[in-house]
Amino acid sequence: MSQRDTLRGKRILAGVCVAGPALVCLIPMAAAPAMPAMAQRFGSLGDGTLFAQMVMTVPAIMLIVAAPIAGLVAARFGRRITLLVSLLLYVIGGAGVLLVDAATPLIALRLLLGVAGGGLLTTSLALIGEHFEDNARETVLGYATSVSSVVAALALMFGGALVDGLGWRAPFSLYLLALPLIVAAFIVVKPAPSIAGEDAHGPHGNGGLVRMWPYYALLMLLTIGMFTPAIQLPFLLEARNVTSASLQGSIISATSIVAIFSAGAFGWGRKYIGIHGFLIIDTLSMCIGVLLIALAPATWVIFLGCLFIGIGAGLSEPAIASLIFDRTPAWVHALAMGLIVSALNLGQFVNPLAMAPLRHALGLSGAFLALSALLGASALLIFLRRRDDLVAHDASLTPLASA
């Protein structure tokens, strides 16, 4: 095979790895525009609104559970077969809704879609770590997050038009976009020997992954921060007499728009900024954004706060994934990425549960201030313990917990 053919295959593989997270992003976003129509369709169940919300959110539960399992399966049987099976289940669980019109099979298909999403995102991230190195890997990780943000925005825009024109099930046809990816993955993702049998007790075995727990905890905190505009901000805007749904949506969407660019710039910035430097930028930008929202005297300041949160939202996943790739052996990469997927979805799930007691005790603005303080303290902790890795160089592999 010529060097040009090899490069072309590498680019197609990069496209597959980037498309996987984008398809997973469609899991909630394709269903979101259909929720009001679904609530009306299933109103006879009692609380149609609650049912529609469950249809959107139940896949996240299976993502949390399935992602680490998919990592173990990928390590044992290979990334390729795990990816292809996940894509097939994705089409069945996603587009299968086009063929049903009852509550029970609808929920069952959404649960199956969550399982598929856990496997798809885990293997996509693991393949990035397996086939790309150094700046190329970080560039692909950044593009994966950036393209996911683009897909989320487009799904919200065109999904509503599909509902208006063809009914509540129409947006679920977007899951058929996985079909060409199945073909591409079958061609470019080659079978690789299992690496699960390597020594699990050496200095870089399971202990290396266990020592990454501070970064998984940090990712959960950052995910709580990045979902705060979508989950909490509408209520704060209502309290400040911003009642227009379209205006609320425009303000909140600033987070996703900025995330497209910050994630896309991660690979370029990694040439100059150390991983822990990125984590400080990440936590500080979210800290400033949440603080601006809490203290905002005017709506434009809230919009500015969302812009700052978007900087961190685009950097969280690629920065921590890149760091964990560097600090763990190849044979645990699939499991490590599965745990990243679980941390991301768990942070989203925990957001309302963590903010509720703060809201009751301090008020909504006070809850934002408390979250801002926690993010700021995290940034200070990272700076004090890893200020040797603020700029790009061959940083020590000492993890945050043992610094």
**What's the angle, vertex CA 266, arms to CA 139 and CA 393, rounded to 5?**
90
Q: Give tens-digit pLDDT for 172-206.
A: 888 999 999 999 888 888 776 555 544 444 444 45
Is residue 280 scored above 90 in pLDDT? yes
Question: When comparing pLDDT for 30 and 219, which is higher?
Answer: 219
Angle at 377 between CA 373 and CA 380, to 5 degrees: 140
Give pLDDT, residue 207.
44
Nearest-angstrom CA–CA distance, 56 and 36: 11
Cβ neighbours of 207 (radius 10 Å): 11
Q: Give the pLDDT of residue 71.
A: 83
Q: What is the DSSP letter of 388?
A: G
Q: At what angle do helices 245-264 and 134-166 cross, to 10 degrees?
A: 160
169 touches 51 (CB < 8 A) = no
pLDDT, tens digit, for every residue of 352-398? Answer: 778 888 888 888 889 899 999 999 999 999 999 888 878 866 544 44
Residue 112 confidence (pLDDT):
94
- With 70 as the cut, is the pLDDT of residue 338 above it? yes
195, 214, 231, 255: which is closest to 339 by C-alpha? 214
Once rounded to an integer, what is the mean pLDDT over residues 289-311?
91
120-165 per-position pLDDT tens digit: 988 888 888 878 877 788 888 888 888 887 887 777 677 777 877 7
pLDDT of residue 334: 76
Structure-block tokens of residue 114: 């969550």
Which of the residue ranges 71-75, 272-276, 309-313 would you say has the lowest mean pLDDT? 71-75
Tokens of 47: 């609380």
Q: Say if residue 294's pLDDT is above 50.
A: yes
Stretch 105-117: mean pLDDT, rounded? 91
Structure confidence at residue 4 as a pLDDT band (50, 70, 90): low
Maximum pairwise Cα distance, the chain: 65
According to the model, what pLDDT value does residue 344 have?
A: 82
Q: Would you state the CATH architecture of domain 201-395? A: Up-down Bundle (1.20)
- Identify the CATH class of 1-192: mainly alpha
Query: Buried b / exposed e across 164-186, counting CB within 10 Å, b at 16+?
Result: eeeebbbbbbbbebbeebbeebe
Mean pLDDT across the stretch 312-335?
83
**Bigger pLDDT: 238 vs 299:** 299
- What whole-number distance in Å separates Cα of residue 361 and Cα of residue 232? 16
pTM of the model: 0.75
Domain residue limits, the chain: 1-192, 201-395
What pLDDT digit, counting tens, does each position of 28-48 carry?
A: 878 777 777 777 887 776 667
> How confident is the model at residue 192, as a pLDDT?
67
The pLDDT of residue 328 is: 81
Distance between CA 149 and CA 285 in Å, rounded? 18
pLDDT (0 to 100) of residue 288: 95
Instruction: Determine the residue type at 161.
Output: A
